[in-house]
């Protein structure tokens, strides 16, 4: 038991705050897709969905493996080990992915509410501030984080709009098709050099 605690502590120390956020987003992705036990979680698909590189996704998947949410099969990747059905903020807390601050707590509540369809696609700052009991500083920090991670953006003039990233498989396919078009074009850029 003590060696398990030491391993958990080492795992928690290794994972960065960004990796924690990605691990939490992977849990949200599992819930949004309604994944069954034994479902495959390809790192590239998740990286495309979250618009990040594969390296932090692999770190987050390894962390979820250490927490027994996923199993790893040699040369095959990661698979869902158990159902993920509790509310997102509870799972995040159980896995030690959240911090005790209000902004992080509300961040996961908003993601959970968005997944459940309890928040509309377009929201005002006043609605978010009143609904989640935030100060202006907390709201700005929260919206900055959400915007940086790409799942909401400020509308021209007034309010915020959530992307379909968390709610539709079609958005994933569109994002993947865009990357298929753009990434090969980057090879033709004058500054591109392939290391020997």
Judgement on whether residues 75 and 148 belong to the same structural domain of the protein: no
Coil/strand/helix, residue 159: coil
Say whether both 108 and 181 belong to one domain.
Answer: yes
Which H or E run contains 122?
strand 122-123
User: Same domain, yes or no, for 126 and 164?
Assistant: yes
Residue of 7, 12, 5 whose CA lies nearest to 97: 12
| Confidence at residue 2, expressed as pLDDT on a 0 to 100 scale | 38
Domain tally, the chain: 2
Taking the C-alpha atoms of residue 25 and residue 45, their distance in angstroms, rounded to an integer, is 13
Which of 49, 80, 111 marks a domain boundary?
Answer: 80
Q: Which long-range contacts (CB under 8 A, 24 or more apart) does 82-90 make?
A: 82/37, 83/36, 83/37, 84/27, 84/30, 84/31, 84/35, 85/31, 87/112, 88/24, 88/27, 88/28, 88/31, 88/112, 88/115
**Pair 61, 136 in one domain:** no
Nearest-5° Cα angle at 168, 164 to 174: 75
Residue 105 shares a structural domain with residue 64 = no
3-state secondary structure 10-52: HHHHHCCHHHHHHHHHHHHHHHHHCCCCCCEECHHHHHHHHCC
Residue 61 shares a structural domain with residue 116: no
pLDDT number for residue 111: 83
66-109: pLDDT as tens digits: 989 999 999 899 999 998 888 877 887 788 776 546 777 788 88
pLDDT, tens digit (0-9, with 9 covering 90-100), for 35-72 = 999 999 999 988 888 777 888 889 889 989 998 999 99
What domain range includes position 50?
A: 2-80
Per-residue pLDDT tens digits for 107-162: 888 888 887 888 998 999 999 999 998 888 888 888 988 888 778 899 987 899 98
**Separation between Cα atoms, residue 144 and residue 155, nearest integer Å:** 14
- Given this model, what pLDDT does residue 40 score? 94
CATH no. for residue 139?
1.10.10.10
* Separation of CA 104 from chain center: 13
- Domain membership flag for residue 7: yes
Strand arrangement of the beta sheet that strand 77-80 belongs to: 40-41, 77-80, 70-73
Question: Does 192 reside within a domain?
Answer: no
One domain, residues 107 and 176: yes
Q: Is residue 58 part of a domain?
A: yes
> In the chain, what is the straight-line distance between the N-terminal and C-terminal CA atoms, in Å?
48
Q: Is residue 87 part of a domain?
A: no
Residues 175 and 106 in one domain: yes
């Amino acid at each position: 038991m003590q060696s398990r605690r030491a391993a958990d502590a080492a795992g928690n120390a290794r994972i960065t705050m960004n990796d924690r956020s990605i691990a939490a987003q992977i849990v949200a992705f599992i819930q949004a897709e309604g994944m069954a036990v034994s479902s495959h979680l390809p790192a590239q698909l998740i990286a495309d969905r979250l618009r990040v590189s594969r390296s932090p996704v692999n770190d987050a998947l390894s962390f979820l493996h250490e927490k027994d949410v996923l199993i790893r099969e040699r040369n095959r990747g990661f698979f869902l080990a158990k159902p993920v059905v509790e509310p997102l903020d509870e799972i995040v807390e159980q896995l030690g992915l959240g911090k005790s601050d209000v902004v992080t707590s509300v961040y996961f509540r908003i993601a959970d509410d968005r997944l459940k369809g309890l928040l509309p696609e377009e929201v005002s700052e006043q609605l978010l501030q009143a609904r989640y009991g935030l100060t202006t500083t907390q709201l700005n920090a929260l919206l900055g984080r959400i915007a940086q991670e790409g799942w909401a953006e400020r509308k021209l003039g007034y309010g915020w709009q959530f992307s379909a990233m968390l709610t539709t498989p079609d958005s994933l396919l569109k994002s993947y098709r865009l990357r298929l078009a753009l990434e090969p074009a980057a090879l033709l850029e004058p500054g591109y050099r392939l290391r020997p």
